[in-house]
Amino acid sequence: MTTERASGARIHVVRFAPAKLNLTLAVVGRREDGYHALHSIMVPLSLGDALTASASPPGAVRDSLRVTGLALSSAPDNLVLRAIAAAREVVAATWPGAPADPPPLAARLAKRIPVAAGLGGGSSDAAAAIQAALAVWSTTLDPDAMASLAASLGSDVPFFLAGGVALITGRGERVEALPDIHGEPLAVLLVTPQVAVATATVFGAYAAGARGSDERAAEISEHLAAEMRAGGLTSAALVVRTAELAGANDLRAAAASLVPGLAGFLTALEKLVDRPVCQSGSGPTLWTLYPTLAEARKAARFVRLGAVNGTLPLVGTGEPFIAATTIAARHAPPSAEPPGRTTGTIRPRTVHNGFDAGGHGPAGPAAEPTESKGDRLDES
């Protein structure tokens, strides 16, 4: 089956690409392949990008990508285009239209996740691109082939294919699904200074000795993973332990060593919100937890005011990206073909994966993020 039907209709497949948060990030060794071995608990957020894909118009000879929202290059090395190309190579011999290659795709990415911020935006986009491409081409991959494809594109990509709270080990390729956090959706305040930090550079600084004095990240991460496996972790309990989580990222000192003013920014942010502040991934995104989205939104407005009046010192090129969002629950994307539809006229349609693509998060008011100035998408 192709996306062009006898009626001339085209399927537009939409995949939500959530940001991620590292609740913990422990570096537990160095692997023979040169990567660092990790022990990290990661959660998907309701803040994310939206990727739309369809078969390219007749005559197109290559995949294309249009990006709206936050600035991001759509050059051939973009992870979305790389993911589509890699997926095509893997399925070319076995997809329903073989021996012809799967057709070129036209993709559009509505970008809301800050780039090089420790939120996994590029990896999430790559995972969404794999899923969208397979749906458009009406084919699938077995779990091992999918895992291998994801790992070839980036260490965080396998997590985003898992679709929920998970323990990440190895260099990121080993993903152990963990139970969702019990209770009301946990709210998160995200604050990202306007400075890009390359993950490899941060790991390089860590390897060179930029480390904190209290290296308890592995202990905290292992204990939290055990609690989550037992199914006993509640959102209320996790909020109480935010101070512990603030010490559970081994890359925090390395990021601060590379970004002038980041340490002072973090201290000022803690004073503004009057609670401990954590770092996601390799940074520079900082975060803290709230029991409700309303409280996180109130804090976002307060932080934004601090950035304007100088209470929060600016780092990088301008005001930080500020958003209030929630930790997203696990979901199961529906199949591309609506149940029971096998014959008849096919109208043009958009196939979603269980999220509201207009809001770019799970349906419902609790998932709607609070946006910082300048991060509203151009949906024209």
CB 275 within 8 A of CB 311: no
Query: Which one is catalytic: 20, 49, 63, 250?
Result: 20
Q: Say if residue 99 is preceded by a cis peptide, omega within 30 of 0.
A: yes
Which token pair is 21? 């948060």
Backbone angles phi, psi at 99, to 5 degrees: -85, 0
Nearest of 283, 323, 284, 281 to residue 112 by alpha carbon: 323
Strands lying side by side in the sheet with 278-279 = 278-279, 286-290, 187-192, 321-326
CB 45 within 8 A of CB 326: yes
Helix axis angle, 79-91 to 121-136, nearest 10°: 40
Nearest of 163, 146, 88, 132 to residue 336 by alpha carbon: 132
Active-site residue, 298 included? no
Query: Which one is catalytic: 49, 63, 125, 156?
Result: 156
Return the bridge partners of 170, or none. 38
Nearest of 150, 185, 7 to residue 79 by alpha carbon: 150
Q: Say if residue 284 is preceded by a cis peptide, omega within 30 of 0.
A: yes
How far, CA to CA in Å, does 171 sit from each of 5, 187, 245, 360?
A: 42, 28, 21, 29
Whole-angstrom Cα distance, residue 246 to residue 44?
18
Whole-angstrom Cα distance, residue 328 to residue 138?
28
Active-site residue, 111 included? no
Which token pair is 67? 């990006």
| Residues noted as catalytic | 20, 156
